[in-house]
Structure 1
Amino acid sequence: MKINWAEKLRQNVHELAESLGNLFVETFHYLALFAIGAVTAWAAVMEFLGMLENGHIKIDDILLLFIYLELGAMVGIYFKTNHMPVRFLIYVAITALTRLLISNVSHHNPPDIGIIYLCGGILLLAFSILVVRYASSAFPSVKVDGPRRKGEASLETEKGEL
Structure 2
Amino acid sequence: MDKMYRKYGITSIKAIEHLVLIIIAIATVVAIGQEIKHIFDVGAVTLADLLLLFIYLEVLAMVSHYAESGKLPIRMPLYIAIVALARYLILDMKAMDDWRIIAISLSTLTLAATVIVIRWGQLKLPYPRPKEDDL
Per the TM superposition, whether the score is higher than 0.5 is yes
Q: Stretches of 4+ moved more than 3 A in 1?
A: 108-111, 154-157
Matched residue count: 135
Aligned twin of 2:13: 25
Alignment of 1:66-81 (within 5 A): 66-81=54-69
Partner of 1:3: none
**CA 1:72–1:142 in 2, change beyond 3 Å: closer, same or farther?**
farther
Distance apart, 1:121 and its partner CA:
1.1
Comparing both chains, which one has the higher relative contact order based on Cα–Cα distances under 8 Å and sequence gaps of 6 or more? 2
Matched residue, 1:122: 108
Name structure 2 gaps, 5 residues minimum: none
Q: Which structure has the greater CA radius of gyration? A: 1
Could you give the per-residue CA deviations for residues 26-72 of structure 1, whole angstroms, max 9, x where no partner exists? 11111111111111111111111112111112111110111101011
Query: CA–CA distance in 2 between the matches of 1:140 and 1:110?
Result: 42
Q: CA deviation at 1:109?
A: 3.7
User: TM-score w.r.t. structure 1 length?
Assistant: 0.75
**1:24, 1:109 → 2: CA distance?**
48
1:111-150 C-alpha deviation (Å, 9 max, x unpaired): 622221121111111100011111122222342xxxxxxx
Q: Give the 3-state SS of the residue equivalent to 2:127 in structure 1.
A: coil
Report the secondary structure of 1:140's partner residue: coil
Q: Does 1:104 align with 2:92?
A: yes
Query: 2:14 is aligned with what amino acid?
Result: E
Percent identical pairs in the alignment equals: 30
The alpha-carbon distance between structure 1 residues 110 and 137, as it changes in their structure 2 partners (threshold 3 A), is: closer
- The counterpart of 2:3, out of the listed 7, 10, 15, is 15
Corresponding residue number in structure 1 for 2:52: 64
Is 2:118 the counterpart of 1:132?
A: yes
Higher helix share: 2
